[in-house]
Amino acid sequence: MAEISKNTLLKLENINKTYTGVQPVHALRSINLTICKGEFLAIVGPSGSGKSTMMNVLGLLDAPTSGKLYYLGQETSKWDEKQKAEFRNREIGFIFQAHLLLPEFTALENVLMPSYISRKTKKAQKNRAKEILENVGLGDKFYSKPAQLSGGQNQRVAIARALMNNPSVVFADEPTGALDQKTGTEIYNLFRKINAYEGMTFIIVTHERDLALKADRVIEIVDGRIVRDERHN
């Protein structure tokens, strides 16, 4: 087993991902990377560079072809799909460019979705969901449905949903891509606030260079390889 510090959230050892077909696609090539608890980092790269594949592998949505991935000191290749799903629900939050809210449910109901397999009481779950919605500035929108909210408000609901189970890490895939600059800045500042006050690790996948440069660490991927790993603090 790899030697892993207590402060290490994620460790990748020689990770490769190849999609087979008429012409095999080498999406990730010999990736070695350590991500510590509480980091705020951005993954950047041109279209087709492998950054989305990287997020899917890190988020346990896709398995590497070879190599080892450790989460909180545990080697994930030994887990079956049920174990991965339980870990994702407990430790990982996802935020996407398309907020993927269920249109027939209220903001509060959407935020509650990840908690349904939790052992907490319904009252405790609802109190937690309301608290998070208040923290993201939607204390007066508990019972509004997505069609009644703006794009920025819906993204805030998606953020609250990602935080519902108090995850160790939040993955944000192009989180401000569909927003205007002012709203995008507000969402970024909200990420920063959560990172600072709750200590959650944030990993942002983005094309937006200005957004990436605000991160504490920038990892650039080109042709499936890490070509830059730069810290700003």
Listed in sequence order, the DSSP H helices in the chain are: 51-58, 81-91, 107-112, 122-135, 151-163, 181-198, 209-213
**Tens of pLDDT, residues 20-68:** 888 888 999 999 999 999 999 999 998 889 998 999 999 999 999 999 9
Residue 139 domain-assigned? yes
How many independent structural domains does the chain possess? 1
Range of the domain at 226: 39-63+90-231
The residue to which tokens 């545990």 are assigned: 74
Write the CATH number for 116.
Answer: 3.40.50.300
Residue 170 domain-assigned? yes
CA distance 53 to 19: 10
Residue 13 corresponds to which tokens in the numbers above? Answer: 């050892």
CA angle 165, 215, 220 (to 5 degrees): 105
Residue 222 domain-assigned? yes
**Tens of pLDDT, residues 65-109:** 999 999 999 999 889 999 999 899 889 999 887 778 999 999 999
CA distance 211 to 145: 29
Residue 84 domain-assigned? no
pTM (global) more than 0.85 = yes
Residue 149 domain-assigned? yes
CA distance 60 to 116: 20
3-state secondary structure of 97: coil
Residue 81 domain-assigned? no
| Highest mean pLDDT: which range of 71-80, 139-148, 152-161 | 139-148
Residue of 100, 98, 121 lying closest to 111 (CA atoms): 100
Collect all residues with Cβ–Cβ distance below 8 Å to 1 and sequence separation of at least 6.
75
